[in-house]
Amino acid sequence: MNNKWTGILGLFLTTVWACDQHTTRRYDYVVHGIDISHYQSFVNWDTVAAQDIHFAFVKATEGLMMSDTMFCHNWTEMKRVGLKRGAYHFYRPTISAREQADNFSRLVEMEYGDMPPVLDVEVLDGVSKTILINGIRTWLYQIEIRYNVKPIIYTNLKFYNKILAGHFNDYPVWIARYSFREPILASGRDWHFWQYGNRGRIKGVFGNVDFNVFNGT
């Protein structure tokens, strides 16, 4: 095999190896968390809480009517074991933002000490940037009235910098960037939560789980 093909094969194998690696937990931050949905099936929250996990976000709803099948179990269990808990809604831009806010509000009952609701915005679904921004604003407004707290906006770094930068600067942001390097937001503002990997492994959770840190104490 000549040097050219040897180099290409080596690059391919290195890429495959890297993509197959589990996310290593960071220890340069104080506050650690995970996020969960029905994809992880049943979580043993006692085991999770015993591993320096301080908070967890769980999927509650999506779009107009969908609710996560594991939400009620996860929501109750997180409270029982004393984890800071938060719930998120996956936003569908082509569906009424007001009705999506109603979907979330019907399911999620928050208590003192819970983290603010989260709006997960990752797709355009074919709508314009203007329609998306207006819809997000409506959802945030409705939820802020309902729970008397400013919601958190979750998205990935590329989507934030391309679509959301310059908007909603008074709302906390949770940024997904699967890298050792911290996210740098185009608007120059700081991030509050960072989802730094999606292939984490932790006792009590089946399969891969997202690892997060909080930018504070």
Residues annotated as catalytic are 35, 122
Residue type, 210: D
First-to-last alpha carbon distance for the chain, in angstroms, is 54
DSSP 133-165: HHHHHHHHHHHHHHHSSPPEEEEEHHHIIIIIT
CB 207 within 8 Å of CB 21: no
- Closest by CA to 194, choosing from 209, 214, 180, is 214
